[in-house]
Amino acid sequence: MSSAWQPTSRHDATSCPNISWDASPRKHKGTLLVATSPDETHTWVEDKREIRVEVWHALILNKVIPSENNQTFDVYAFYDPDFDQPWLLATPVALKPESVRAIYKDRWPVEQVPLSAKQMVGSHRQFVHNSESVQRLPELTLLAGSILSFLAATFPTTPTGFWDRKPKRTPGRFRRLLIGKPFPKDTPLSSRLREKKSVTTHLPKGNLARHPKPVVVALT
């Protein structure tokens, strides 16, 4: 998560509701706005790196009028030497900073499989209506996305082009690598799988498919 955050206000009915909270200093119309001092600061060592976290308690959104009945939340700013910007996490549950970081790190990999299955494989453009196909399509796409992510993580890193100077093992890069390879003919396939003989010669290909030329009709 980036360091940008919607300004919030302190949850204190006796304070001015226009007091805003910022995790890092910023400029507004040439004026430097100092960061709000954290309520707590914690540090610990993880994998030979010192993790520092700043915590702000009992916050509300800046458009909410302070009241004792408002639901509040806490914001944690994690500073890791491996990253240039702090990692900001907000939660309405009171937890230790170590628990907040560990829970979110465990949750984040859940997004990987839907990303590789929908965007990389292209299942987000597929539509089915049969009741059995409705169940099978997500199963097949999640399986394909998992295989694609596994192969991308285990195969050597391949850049997308000359501009990709620091490539990573991502399913998108691996998919582009597979596009340029011929389909293997030496692998036995099930007899239930067959090539669909679709007529596509009349359809535009490549860049022409993305930017078709407008059709000009002469008026007579």
pLDDT of residue 23: 60
* Residue 204 located in a structural domain: no
Instruction: Evaluate if residue 73 carries a pLDDT over 60.
Output: yes
Band (pLDDT 50/70/90 cuts) for residue 218 is low
Examine the fold and report which residue of 94, 121, 136 is the final residue of a domain before the chain moves on.
94
Residues 51 and 75 in one domain: yes
Same domain, 86 and 131: no
Q: Is 212 part of any domain?
A: no
Confidence of residue 105 (pLDDT cuts 50, 70, 90): confident
The helix (run of H) or strand (run of E) holding residue 72 is none
> Which pLDDT band holds residue 19 (cuts at 50, 70, 90)?
very low
Residue 37 counted as domain residue: yes
Does the residue 80 lie in any domain?
yes
Picking from 94, 116, 131, the residue at the C-terminal end of a domain is 94
Mark whether 68 and 45 lie in a shared domain: yes
87/101 same-domain check: no
Average pLDDT over residues 118-143: 87
Which of 17 and 200 is assigned the larger pLDDT? 200
- Domain end (from 94, 122, 139): 94
Domain holding 165, by residue range, is 95-182
Same domain flag for 89 and 29: yes
pLDDT at 69 over 50: yes
Q: Is the pLDDT of residue 16 over 60?
A: no
27 and 45 share one domain: yes
Q: What is the CA radius of gyration of the chain?
A: 26
Phi, psi of 123 (to 5 degrees): -70, -15
What is the residue-averaged pLDDT of the chain?
81
> Do 118 and 143 have their domain in common?
yes
pLDDT at 57: 92
Number of domains the chain is built from: 2
For the stretch 22-37, pLDDT in tens is: 566 677 788 887 878 8
pTM equals 0.52
**Domain annotation covers residue 34:** yes
pLDDT at residue 1 above 60?
Answer: no
Q: According to the per-residue pLDDT averaged within each range, which of 28-32, 38-42, 194-198 is highest? A: 38-42
**Residue 1 falls inside a structural domain:** no
Q: How many residues does the chain have?
A: 220
Q: Is residue 13 part of a domain?
A: yes
The reply to whether 207 falls in a domain is: no
